[in-house]
């Protein structure tokens, strides 16, 4: 994969197809390939005439692994995304983020709105503001000696996913400490570009999409039927709603 330096940190990325670029920011424990290529998102966007740009967030995929929790705040990872746009000479683009990637996208929109035409926040509802209470369980699961030592449902889910993707579990544990940086309600209200908030009907991790969309000046909400946090990622309902949203706003 090609890469560039973001504040001295090697960040990997990839570019697929031609046309108007769309930046894709993956979720915790994932990568550009796992979140966007393997789920069919890149193919879907290319078929719709877009160029798909994926980034491997710091500590993930082929990007540099870091083990200090203070290096994983969402607003810092948002700067990695902005610097990728700079590196590729992209002045402005739509951004699609999933889960942690949606949180990163939100901070990018808040801090540098001129770089974003519109955003899609998948797998992220009101917990963008209220935060999540299972961080310690996930950290313990990632640092346990083996999967057999992990008891909690959420912890096991993330441990299995990390092992399946071959992720660096120590780097992910450090990331989990600070990457769930919450936004305030006032900060959400300050994000003025169009935002689609898309959450699975059975997603217990994201929080509801409608209240979050209602806080946004130009927010829209969609519920991905019969899907939980993991299974909503590549769902055709999510893709269809996103393409319609991009057609209106990108």
pLDDT digits (tens, 9 = 90+) for 77-90: 999 999 999 999 99
Report CA-CA distances (Å) from 65 to 16, 29, 54, 105, 200: 24, 12, 18, 21, 30
Which of 22, 10, 167 is closest to 80 using CA atoms? 10
Assigned token pair, 156: 């096991």
Domains detected in the chain: 3-129+183-249 (3.40.50.1820)
* Confidence band of 131 (pLDDT split at 50, 70, 90): confident
Q: How many Cα atoms occupy the beta-carbon half-sphere of 162 within 13 Å?
A: 27
**pTM of the full predicted structure?**
0.96
């Amino acid at each position: 994969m090609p890469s560039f330096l973001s504040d001295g940190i090697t960040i990997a990325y990839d570019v697929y197809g031609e046309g108007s670029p769309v930046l894709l920011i993956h979720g915790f424990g994932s990568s550009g390939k796992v979140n966007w290529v393997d789920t069919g998102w890149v193919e879907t966007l290319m078929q719709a005439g877009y160029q798909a740009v994926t980034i491997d967030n710091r500590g993930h995929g082929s990007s540099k692994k870091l083990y200090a929790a203070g290096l994983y705040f969402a607003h810092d990872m948002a700067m990695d995304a902005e610097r990728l746009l700079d590196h590729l000479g992209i002045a402005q683009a739509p951004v699609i983020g999933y889960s942690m990637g949606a949180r990163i996208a939100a901070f990018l929109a808040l801090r540098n709105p001129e770089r974003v035409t519109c955003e899609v926040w998948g797998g992220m509802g009101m917990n963008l503001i209220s935060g999540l209470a299972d961080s310690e369980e996930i950290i313990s699961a990632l640092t346990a000696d083996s999967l057999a030592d992990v008891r909690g449902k959420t912890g096991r889910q993330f441990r299995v996913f990390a092992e399946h993707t071959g992720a660096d579990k120590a780097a992910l544990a450090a990331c989990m400490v600070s990457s769930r940086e919450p936004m305030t309600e006032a900060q959400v209200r300050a994000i003025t570009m169009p935002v689609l908030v898309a959450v699975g009907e059975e997603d217990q991790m994201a929080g509801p999409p409608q209240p979050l969309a209602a806080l946004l000046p130009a927010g829209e909400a969609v519920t991905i039927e019969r899907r939980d946090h993991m299974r909503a990622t590549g769902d055709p309902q999510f893709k269809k709603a996103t393409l319609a949203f991009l057609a209106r706003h990108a």
